[in-house]
Amino acid sequence: MPIKVLPIQLSSLEDLVRLIADIRKERSVLISYKESGKYVVGFYLPPQVKNIHGIFVYTSMNELPDIISYSPNDGGVEVFKTEYIESPLYVNIFVSKLAKSPHEFVELEDVDVVKVDVNDIKSLIYLAYSTSFEHLIVPFMWYLEDENTFLINVEVPSSDDGEDNLLIFKFKNSDLNVEKPYLVYDPKEDSITFSEVPKDLSKKYVLIVKVKKFFMV
């Protein structure tokens, strides 16, 4: 019987690679399987509600390499390669090819979802740093391209009545043009910019993960 997962479909392989390298680092492994003539490739995030085994973050591809080597900053440049690279600057991401999918996509049910609008992108950056995985040097937030919306989903401990809770912080702004993968906040200048690579330790960086389809609308 397949496991039950919530789906998050990303906009590109680059978004997927950036995210898994940020979270798993040298332990990065993607799983893949073929469906309708295309490869579905992704990895699991921990479940945030009961009765769900995880969240499957994925993208679809026509061709699939055996390995993807990624550096967020090699001489000031982000690099993607399809070969093993023996360098501390690179994360080698192996791709495990499965005969069939081990999971099935399900919808979010019987969950009290609390959506909170955030007034500005700076506030969302602060929340990204306070609510993300503790081991992350660079936290991340989702960016729903079709809706021009940034969001963070946060697991909330179950209440005494056993009800599942999920908290979603979101910020929608049509003025921000997301062309680069990192959002940068400079606390000294109180300014927001975008960057190709994380390079200045005095600033706060957030990885922007572009999403094609999120499990919550």
pLDDT at res. 5 = 96
pLDDT tens-digit profile, the chain (217 residues): 789 999 999 999 999 999 999 999 999 999 999 999 999 999 999 988 888 899 999 999 999 999 999 999 999 999 999 999 999 999 999 999 999 999 999 988 888 889 999 999 999 999 999 987 777 889 999 999 999 999 999 877 666 666 778 899 999 976 788 889 999 999 999 999 999 999 888 899 999 999 999 987 5
**Is the pTM of the predicted complex or chain greater than 0.95?**
no
Q: Which residues contact 110 (CB under 8 A, 6 or more apart)?
A: 51, 164
pLDDT at res. 167 = 92
Dihedral of CA 161/164/169/170: which sign? negative
End-to-end CA distance of the chain: 28
Can you read off the two tokens belonging to residue 128?
A: 């990204």
The Cβ of residue 121 has, within 10 Å, a number of other Cβ atoms equal to 18
pLDDT at res. 104 = 95
Nearest one of 51, 93, 103, 105 to 214, comparing CA atoms: 105
pLDDT at res. 122 = 93
User: In terms of C-beta density within 10 A (0-12 exposed, 13-18 middle, 19 or more buried), how is residue 122 classed?
Assistant: middle
Question: Dihedral angle at the C-alpha atoms of 32, 60, 100, 43, nearest 10 degrees?
Answer: 40
Dihedral of CA 68/70/74/78: which sign? positive
pLDDT at res. 200 = 86
